[in-house]
Amino acid sequence: MARNSIIANLIMILLIGGGIWTMFNIQKEVFPQFQLDFVEVNVVYPGAAPAEVEQGILLPVEEAIRGIQGIKEIVSTANEGSGEILIELVAGTDRMKAFQDIDQAVNRIRTFPDDIEQPQVALQSRQRDVMQISLYGNVDITALRNLTERLRNRLLSNDEITQVEIGNVPDYVTHIEIPRHNLRQYNLTLGQVADIVAQSSEDVPAGAVETQSEEILLRMKERKQWAEEFGDITILSSNSGARVTLSEIATITDGFEETGFHGQFNQTPSIDLEIFRIGDQSPLDIEEKVKEIMEDFQLPPGVQYRIDSNRAEDYRERLSLLTENGVLAIIIVLVILTLFLEYRLAFWVMIGMTISFIGGVILLPLIGISINMISMFGFLVVLGIVVDDAIVVGENIYEYRQKGLPFMKAAIKGTKDVSKPVTFSIITTIVAFIPLLFMPGETGKFWQPLPAVVIVILAVSLLEALFILPSHLGHLSEKKKKKKWVLRLEKGQQYFSNGLTRFVDTHYRPFLDKCLKYRYITLSIAVALLLVVGGYGYSDHMGMIMMPEVAADEIEAGVRLPVGTTPDQAAKVAEEITKSTQQMFEDHNLYEAAEGIKTNVRGQNFIDVEIVMLPPDDRDMTAREMIAIWRDNIGDIEGVDQITFEAERGPGGASQAISIDLSHTDVETLERASKAFFERMEAYDNTRDVSDNYNKGKLQYDFKLLPEGRNLGLTSNEVGRQVRDAFYGALAIRQLRGINEIEVRVKLPLEERKNLQNLENFLIRTPDSVEVPLFDVVTVSQREAFTSINRRDGRRVINVGMDVEPSNAVGRVLASINNEVLPQLRADYPGITWTFEGSQADMRESTQSLWSGFSLAMMIMYALLAIAFSSYTQPLIVMTAIPFGVVGAVIGHILLGYDLSIVSLMGVIALSGVVVNDSLIMIDYANKKRKDHSIYESIHEAGLRRFRPILLTTLTTFGGLTPIILETSSQAFHLIPMAISLGFGIVFATSIILVIVPCLYLVLEDAVLYIQKGKTVERKK
């Protein structure tokens, strides 16, 4: 192909043209889209306590699905009024079949309580959010909700936007409140009124009448939408035509669920709009349309909007990061190549890099990879690696040109000489990245595009280096008349080349001679360095974290209130905490670091207050510094059980450093054990924000029907229903109003259901319409009830979680927990069991997978090298570069102050395929030289001859990664540890390879000669 430039040029044009076309048409998204291996079962049980939900919903569902194949783990939660079962599937399971089996199993359950709503079974899927817009202002929450719905409808009217959801707002409810004396006056119950409302608010299709001219549809149209319409419903009527309407006996209002507090931003009501993309919609296109609409949308006085999150902006910044770092890396690599090689050769090597990048894009859609923030990481990672094969080929051609061969002969001979080692070096690099394709769980699926991009580009670069590059270099011609700048460039390049040659002769040659002469001492020093640095990295001095810390977008104070807190009390505490935080902003001038304060009440006993941070580049305060100030200033707030602080970082948000599930067959023992463990964790110096999900303490009254009640014709179901209707509300109807689902609920006025006296005075109506006091027909016992119950794989669990500061101390804390705390806990509470969940479980699963994949990759690489060298022992020499590369990666993290993380390990595994390339080329050259030279001369000459290409590939790899390593943008934080592992690992490994590989080569030959002849390799005088 080298002689036929047309074929090479056509392939080049095809790769470039196809790549550019694909760039415009490929799917673009913020994060990679992947399927989740979870099935979710949700069952609503209105008014039920968590213990009732556990008994009536969780246990039957767990038992029904227990035998279904493909289930990995079952996590269940019982809350007040609902139960949720989250089923994790084994990776590789047929998701749809598992979902259908679970759905059918749930539908076959016949022991569900009568009052539950239809169970909802669904495959979990990730919604691809693009933007979140918050409307806020000092206006009524109803007016703000109506404005938000108008904005939603306006957004949905655009063809580019297909999914918009309203968040951070309670559900619509039409409240029908009937005083007890009115019910007594008209001999009614709340349930009866609810039934009348339901029957009087229906649209009933009644068929059609066919006339001679047309068909006329018939319809009973009685559906009510608004409070005033419900007020006209007839509750009672007489034969004379007199009637009692609902509005005469009840107060009817359109409103929301009785939450007591609505979401706020900077102490004003706030409602969120979340905008998602569907299918192949582009986040950039959606962002453009949203901003156009917001510019035209008229907001009333006092109402403002803010963009709370913008994934499209993140995508744009990552694309900008790729472009800027790519251009900078190309310039660095081009400068390095120009210094070492002839400028035209350097130019074509860089063109080869461009062809590999653009051409690789063609294959991405074929393997299901889109352009997203992770695949763009892949392009950045491969920047410095992709030119290695072209450099080796180009440098070898350059060497033959220096010896006087014509361009075409130099191109053909130079390429043939290194085609085998270059091919094997690319294959070994690809093999090293393959384990990253098979990391388990969401972490693996999230990072999968990165190794896929690297593998594709490396495969294209091999094609380019062996076929296209030689053709271009072979058709160069010697110019008779050169311009002055060309002559100066060639003179400078020649000067640098001669200087490098002198350095090799005057410094590297004698140093290599000394090392080879005292090779056993040299190896001992290298092994000692390996043990020292490796031991430091493995010890607790560095520590290990799941993911690199990324500048937080938001900081959250999670406030747990005492169990039994009323909505009004929760609202009061939320307002007090918000005011305290607002005062802190003014006292410390925090508006230079943060945008504002968001406040929400989650349920009745949890408040989250969030500080919305400015972008990292626009502030001079870190999230940790902000949290420290917040801790010192929030003070003691009455009515608060616990406050924990955490920073939301990147994808997935915040996650506690350590999370442990405790379990025991006896619930009381579990409670005591979790309390003891909680107290021991709080005593640690490095632990922060220790919390648990044990929420017992809410008082519960249990009723049991007396024989006297049964004698009056009452049943347990009827008594329970009347009590629930009064204090929870009787659901009349659930229907759509516009596009919103609303409930119409009939209940007593708030003042008649907010204290125990109302319960004591409550009257039960018998089937004979006789009213009797509740406590005359039931016995009452009281106990503490859970506000939530958590189960894992059929056992009750209590989770204890905590953060650790500094983050790299997690290993030390975990070691203490495993070796001291948990064994003592088991001794104190026999039968207690535990599992690590959250970040630790993810990290354990990921590291196990990575090391398993790494081991398999090493075996495959060994087999490939054994085939390449036709030797069982020489691959071991080549692979000794790997541990020294790991040493370099550890040193790089130490020098730059980064903690080791899963991303660092991913870089180390990828590094293993890169570092062997240089030693592979050196050993291959030495083997060829042994035909005409002694063993000593062969490896000595290989070290000298391969010094330049090894140095060149190292500098270009490190140069390509340098912009990422030095990047300060938060968009690069997740990638920097991988770049450090690759960059510093290759630099350190190269310095070792140039000395250790020749020494190991001779040591191996020493062993062979000593066994055969009783002597070692000696240098010929």
Same domain (yes/no): 558, 522: no
pLDDT band at 39 (very low <50, low <70, confident <90, very high): very high
In a domain, 446, yes or no: no
Same domain (yes/no): 562, 677: yes
Residue 721 has pLDDT above 80, yes or no: yes
pLDDT band at 85 (very low <50, low <70, confident <90, very high): very high
* Beta partners for residue 701, in sequence order: 782
Residue 58 has pLDDT above 90, yes or no: yes
Are the CB atoms for 445 and 32 separated by under 8 Å? yes
How many whole angstroms separate alpha carbon 149 and alpha carbon 132? 14
Same domain (yes/no): 523, 567: no
In a domain, 462, yes or no: no
Question: Which of 87-101, 478-492, 511-525 shows the lowest mean pLDDT across its residues?
Answer: 478-492
pLDDT value of position 698 = 67
Average pLDDT over residues 927-948: 84
CATH number of the domain where residue 976 is located: 1.20.1640.10
Looking at 836, 859, 893, which one is the last position of a domain? 836
pLDDT value of position 490 = 72
| Region for residue 850 given its phi and psi (left: phi exceeds 0; alpha: psi -120 to 50; beta: otherwise) | alpha
Are the CB atoms for 271 and 148 separated by under 8 Å? yes
CATH number of the domain where residue 674 is located: 3.30.70.3400
Residue 728 has pLDDT above 90, yes or no: no
In a domain, 601, yes or no: yes
Overall pTM > 0.85:
no
| Region for residue 1014 given its phi and psi (left: phi exceeds 0; alpha: psi -120 to 50; beta: otherwise) | left
Q: What is the mean pLDDT of the chain?
A: 83
In a domain, 412, yes or no: no
How many whole angstroms separate alpha carbon 404 and alpha carbon 239? 120
pLDDT band at 2 (very low <50, low <70, confident <90, very high): low
Average pLDDT over residues 261-266: 80
pLDDT value of position 59 = 92
Q: Tens digit of pLDDT for each residue in 893-910?
A: 888 888 888 788 888 887
Same domain (yes/no): 950, 1002: yes
Strand 264-265 and strand 594-602: the pairing is antiparallel
Name the phi and psi angles at 597, rounded to 5: -125, 130
Residue 849 has pLDDT above 90, yes or no: no
CA 156 to centroid of chain Cα atoms: 28
How many whole angstroms separate alpha carbon 746 and alpha carbon 599? 30
Q: Which two tokens stand for residue 559?
A: 């406030």
Same domain (yes/no): 826, 683: yes
Same domain (yes/no): 659, 526: no
CA 691 to centroid of chain Cα atoms: 23
Same domain (yes/no): 74, 108: yes
pLDDT value of position 409 = 85
Q: Which residue has the tokens 């749809």?
A: 96
Percent of the chain clearing pLDDT 70 (strictly above): 93
pLDDT value of position 843 = 67
How far is the first Cα of the chain from the last one, in angstroms, to the nearest whole number? Answer: 45
Residue 546 has pLDDT above 80, yes or no: no
Question: Which of 154-158, 177-181, 968-972 shows the lowest mean pLDDT across its residues?
Answer: 968-972
Residue 552 has pLDDT above 80, yes or no: no
Same domain (yes/no): 805, 881: no
pLDDT value of position 42 = 93
Q: With b meaning 16 or more CB within 10 Å and e meaning fewer, what string describes 88-119?
A: bbeeebebeebbebbbebbeeeeebeebbeeb
Same domain (yes/no): 651, 678: yes
pLDDT band at 692 (very low <50, low <70, confident <90, very high): confident
CA 410 to each of CA 475, 695, 888: distance values in angstroms, whole numbers, following the listed order: 11, 78, 36
Q: Tens digit of pLDDT for each residue in 338-356?
A: 887 777 787 888 888 888 8
Same domain (yes/no): 821, 941: no
In a domain, 110, yes or no: yes
pLDDT band at 561 (very low <50, low <70, confident <90, very high): confident
pLDDT value of position 61 = 93
pLDDT value of position 989 = 85
Q: Tens digit of pLDDT for each residue in 403-419?
A: 778 878 888 888 888 88
Looking at 97, 123, 149, which one is the last position of a domain? 123
CATH number of the domain where residue 65 is located: 3.30.70.1430
In a domain, 30, yes or no: no
How many whole angstroms separate alpha carbon 811 and alpha carbon 816? 9
Residue 654 has pLDDT above 60, yes or no: no
pLDDT value of position 139 = 87
Residue 650 has pLDDT above 60, yes or no: no
In a domain, 21, yes or no: no
pLDDT band at 453 (very low <50, low <70, confident <90, very high): very high
Same domain (yes/no): 581, 689: yes
Q: Tens digit of pLDDT for each residue in 579-619?
A: 888 888 888 888 888 888 888 877 667 788 888 888 777 77
Question: Which of 163-177, 366-380, 442-456, 559-573 shows the lowest mean pLDDT across its residues?
Answer: 559-573
pLDDT value of position 40 = 93
| Region for residue 266 given its phi and psi (left: phi exceeds 0; alpha: psi -120 to 50; beta: otherwise) | left
Are the CB atoms for 594 and 622 separated by under 8 Å? no
Question: Which of 311-325, 663-677, 855-869, 938-952 shows the lowest mean pLDDT across its residues?
Answer: 311-325
Q: With b meaning 16 or more CB within 10 Å and e meaning fewer, what string describes 270-298?
A: bbbbbbbbeeebbbbebbebbeebbeeee
pLDDT value of position 653 = 42
Same domain (yes/no): 594, 625: yes
Write out the E strands in 649-686.
Answer: 658-663
Which residues 6+ apart lie within 8 Å of 32 measured at CB? 369, 370, 372, 374, 375, 445, 446, 448, 449
Average pLDDT over residues 118-127: 85
**Coil/strand/helix, residue 796:** strand
pLDDT value of position 1019 = 60
How many whole angstroms separate alpha carbon 153 and alpha carbon 133? 14
- Closest C-alpha among 451, 335, 472 to residue 385: 451
- Would the CA dihedral through 671, 676, 677, 683 be positive or negative? positive
The one-character DSSP state at 767 is T
Q: How many domains does the chain have?
A: 3
In a domain, 1007, yes or no: yes
Average pLDDT over residues 22-31: 83
The one-character DSSP state at 171 is P
Q: Tens digit of pLDDT for each residue in 789-836?
A: 889 888 889 888 888 877 777 778 888 888 889 999 999 999 899 888
In the sheet that holds 172-177, the strands lie side by side as: 251-256, 172-177, 740-747, 730-737
Q: Tens digit of pLDDT for each residue in 871-891?
A: 888 888 888 888 888 888 888
Name the phi and psi angles at 151, rounded to 5: -65, -40
Q: Which structural domain range is residue 513 located in?
A: 499-547+871-1021
Q: Which two tokens stand for residue 407?
A: 């361009």
pLDDT band at 655 (very low <50, low <70, confident <90, very high): low
How many whole angstroms separate alpha carbon 328 and alpha carbon 324? 6
Average pLDDT over residues 654-676: 83
The verdict on whether omega for the bond into residue 548 sits within 30 degrees of 0, i.e. cis, is no
